[in-house]
Chains A and B, each alone.
Chain A
Amino acid sequence: MTDRIPGFSTLAIHAGAQPDPSTGARVTPIYQTTAFVFDDVDHAASLFGLQAFGNIYTRITNPTTAALEERVAALEGGTAALATASGHAAQLLAFHAMMMPGDNIVAANKLYGGSINQLNHSFKSFGWEVRWAEATDPDSFTALIDDRTRAIFVESLANPGGVLVDLDAIAAIARSKGIPFVVDNTLATPYLCRPIEHGADIVLHSLTKFMGGHGNSMGGVIVDGGTFDWSASGNYPMLSKPRPEYNGMVLHETFGNFAFAIACRVLGLRDLGPAISPMNSFLIMTGIETLPLRMQRHCDNALKVAEHLKSHDKVDWVSYAGLESDPYYGLHRKYMPKGAGSVFTFGVKGGYDAGVALVSNVQLFSHLANIGDTRSLIIHPASTTHRQLTDEQKTAAGAGPDVVRLSIGLEDVEDLIADLDQALATIEA
C-alpha cells in the first residue's frame, strides 16, 4: 500500500489526534494534570535523561498540548513543534535557543508592534541586539548581517499594514549566510502560506489569532522545519555543544532534524517556563479543525469589505494586498493566492477625530486590541495602542491619526459593510 499524504483539511482534523489509547475518547481529552506517574525508577531516569519519550510535568510536555503541537507541525510541514503560553513566549524561546549575549537578529521593520517592542527593548537586557531591515527590500537584510547575526526574522504577512515580504529572496540570503530564517506566520496561517516551502527554517505563530480563531485562548507555537544545520558553524552552542544541563549531551547530534524543537523545550520552556495550559491547547486545537473553512471566509469577507471601503467617499486609502491596485498584490498572488488575510488598515478622511468617531459608533465591530476572531474587530491605533507616541512616530509606525485597523470576522459580509457605512455616516464631513 502506498503512503498517501493526507490533504490540509484532513490534517487540520486528524494530525496528532488518534483516539485516546486508554478510554477510546475520540476527541483528544484535556489532560488537566500537573504531573505524570513514572512506571518505575528506571523509567523516571530515562525520561529525565531524554532517553525515552514520555511525560513528566506539564511545564515540559502534556498529552493535550502534544496533540496540538503535532497538528501544527503537520500543517506547516515541519518536523516537530513546541506550544507556548503566547506568541510572544514562542518568540522568546525560539531566539533564546539561538542567541548568546552580543549576538544580533536582523528583523524586518514591518512587524506587529508588540514584537518590535520585544526585540527593541526586552531583548536588549539579554544582550541581544536587533537590526531593522526594510521589509520590502531583501538587499537591506544582506547589508546588516555580520558574524554575530544569528537569525533573520520576518512576518510573512505583517500586522497591521498588510505588507508581504519576498520569502524566497530573503530565504536565499539566509541560506547563503548560513543563518536560520525565522518567519512569524500568524496572520497568514499555514492555510494561506507554508513558509517552510519557501525556505523558512523556523515558523512561529501566535495561536491566539486565526489558528485558535475564536478569541478565547492565548497560545503560541514554534515549528521546527528540520532544515537548518545547527552544527555547521559552531555558532549555535545550545544545539551543537555538550549541554551541562544534560551531562554533556549534544542535542543536534542526538535529535537530528527536530533538535531545535527539543532545545526550545528542554532548555527554554523547561527553564523559562511559559507553558500553555492544557485547556487552551484543547480550545485552540478545536479551532484548528475548521481553519481551512474559516480562513477562506475571513479572506473572502475581507476582500469585499476592502473593495467597498476603497470606493467609499469618507475613505482616503485602503491598504489590502488582495486589491489589484495594492503594491503587494503581486506577492500575494505568489505566496498566498487563496487570500490576503483578513487584517488590514485604511485611512479615514477627517483624521484623528474621524477615527475616534468611527470606532465609537460601530455596532457590530468590536472595539478592542486583538485580531483573528470569528467576530469582526476594529481599532484606531492613534488613540489606543500608539497613543503615547508623537504624531511623527505614529506615522512612521503606520499608526497615523487617520489609520483604522480592521480584523474581518465570519459574519455576513453585508452586515459588516452596513455597520461600517452607518458608522462612517456619523463622521462630520
Chain B
Amino acid sequence: MNHDSYQDAYIRGILDEVKTIAMIGASANSVRPSYFVLKYLLAKGYDVIPINPGQAGKEILGQPVYGKLADVPRPIDMVDVFRNSEAAGAVVDEALALSPLPKVIWLQLGIRNDEAAARAEAAGIKVVMNRCPKIEYGRLSGEIGWTGVNSRTISSKRPVLQKGFQHRGLRDLKEKI
C-alpha cells in the first residue's frame, strides 16, 4: 500500500464502511484539532468514542471517555490517532490486541509510522496516515469547497442529500472524468 497518496475511492470506502470510531487523544479543549474532528464526525452521524486517560470517566461532547482502547466495551470499526508518529506505534499495537480487530487505523495529519502501518496491514487492517477524516469527508462531500479549499474532485452530477447515518452533506462524487 502506497501511503504517500491515496486514491479517493480508498478513502471514500473507509468513510462509508466505518461507524464506530475510537479517537485516541480526544481533547476536551474546544480549540484543539481533535475536539474539532470529534464534533464534526459526531455531527455526521458517526459513533465516536473519545479515548483520553486524563478524562477517563468524564464526558466530551456528551460521549463517555475511556482511558484506553481495551476499556471500550463494544467493537470498534476505526481507531483515529491524535498522537505523535512515535507514540502511534504503541497505539497500533494496542489496536492489534483488540478483539474483534478494528477494520481501519487512521493516523492524523502530520502523523506517519510506516513500521506500525506494516504491522497493521499484515493483520488485514486498512491504514491511512497523515490525513484528517474531517478534511477528507469535507473534501469528498464537496462541503470543504465552501471554504475555498481545493477538493480535487469535479462532477457534472447534481449533489443530492444522502440518507443513512453517514448523512454526508452531498452525495459522493463518484462520477469522475
- Chain A contacts to B: CB under 8 angstroms: 1-4, 6, 10-11, 14-16, 18-21, 24, 26, 46, 49-55, 61, 63, 65-67, 69-70, 73-74, 78-83, 242, 246-250, 253-254, 256, 258, 261-262, 265
Contact assessment for B177 and A10 in the assembled complex, using a CB-CB cutoff below 8 Å: yes
Partner of A18, one of B135, B147, B149, B157: B157
Whether B143 pairs with A21 at a CB distance below 8 angstroms is: no
Please give 8 more A-B residue pairs, beta carbons under 8 A apart, in addition to A66-B145, A83-B148. Answer: A1-B176, A18-B159, A18-B170, A46-B39, A46-B40, A70-B151, A256-B109, A258-B150
Contacts of B143 in A (CB 8 A): 53-54
Residues of A within 8 A of B145 (CB): 16, 66-67, 70
> Among the listed A250, A253, A254, A261, which residue makes an inter-chain contact with B149, where contact means beta carbons less than 8 Å apart?
A261
A48 to chain B, nearest CB (A): 12
A18 pairs with B150, CB closer than 8 A: no
Q: How far is the CA of A10 from the CA of B149 in the complex (A)?
A: 18
> Can you give 24 contacting A-B residue pairs, CB < 8 Å?
A3-B8, A3-B9, A16-B145, A18-B155, A18-B158, A19-B159, A21-B158, A21-B161, A21-B170, A26-B156, A50-B36, A52-B39, A55-B146, A61-B146, A61-B148, A66-B148, A70-B150, A73-B149, A74-B152, A79-B149, A247-B31, A253-B33, A254-B31, A256-B109
Report the Cα distance A55→B143, complex, angstroms: 10
Contacts of A65 in B (CB 8 A): 148
B63 within 8 A of A: no
Whether B56 sits at the interface, judged by CB under 8 Å, is: no
Q: Which 3 A-B pairs have the closest CB atoms?
A: A69-B148, A73-B150, A249-B31
Residues of A within 8 A of B144 (CB): 53
Q: What's the Cα separation between A16 and B147 when bound, in Å? A: 11
Q: Are A79 and B150 in contact (CB under 8 A)?
A: yes
Tell me whether B156 and A14 are in contact (CB under 8 A). yes
Known A54-B146, A253-B33; contact A6-B40, beta-carbon cutoff 8 A: no
User: How many residue pairs between the two chains, A and B, have CB atoms under 8 Å in the bound complex?
Assistant: 118
Taking a contact as CB atoms under 8 Å apart, the answer to whether A52 and B155 are in contact is no
CB-defined contacts of A50 to chain B, threshold 8 Å = 36
- Give Cα distance in the complex from A203 to B151, angstroms: 18
Q: Nearest chain B CB to A230's CB is how many angstroms away?
A: 13
B112 to chain A, nearest CB (A): 13
Give chain A residues whose Cβ lies under 8 Å from the Cβ of B35.
51
Measuring CB to CB, which residues of chain B are less than 8 angstroms from any residue of chain A? 7-9, 30-31, 33, 35-36, 39-40, 43, 109-110, 132, 135, 138, 142-152, 154-161, 170, 173, 176-177
Partner of B148, one of A26, A246, A254, A265: A265
Q: Given the interface contacts A70-B149, A249-B31, A265-B148, does A53 sit within 8 Å of B159 by beta carbon?
A: no
What are the residues of chain A within 8 A of B138 when measuring CB–CB? 53
Residue of A nearest to B130 (CB): A256
Q: Using A14-B156, A18-B157 as known contacts, say yes or no to A52 and B147 having CB atoms under 8 A apart.
A: no
Q: Which of A21, A66, A70 touches B160 (beta carbons < 8 Å)?
A: A21
- CB <8 Å contact, B40 and A51: yes
- Residue contact A19 to B157, C-beta cutoff 8 Å: yes
Q: Are A6 and B43 in contact (CB under 8 A)?
A: no
With a cutoff of 8 Å between Cβ atoms, the chain B residues found around residue A46 in the complex are 39-40, 43
A73 to B176, CA, bound (A): 18
Q: Name the distance in Å between B57's Cβ and chain A's nearest Cβ.
A: 25
If A18-B173, A246-B31, A247-B31 touch, does A3 touch B7 (CB 8 Å cutoff)? yes
Q: Which of B33, B40, B148, B176 contacts A3 (CB 8 A)?
A: B176
A15 touching B30 in the complex, CB below 8 Å, given contacts A3-B7, A80-B148, A258-B149 = no
Interchain CA distance A36-B7 in the complex, whole Å: 34
Across the interface, B132 reaches (CB within 8 A) one of A20, A67, A69, A256, namely A256
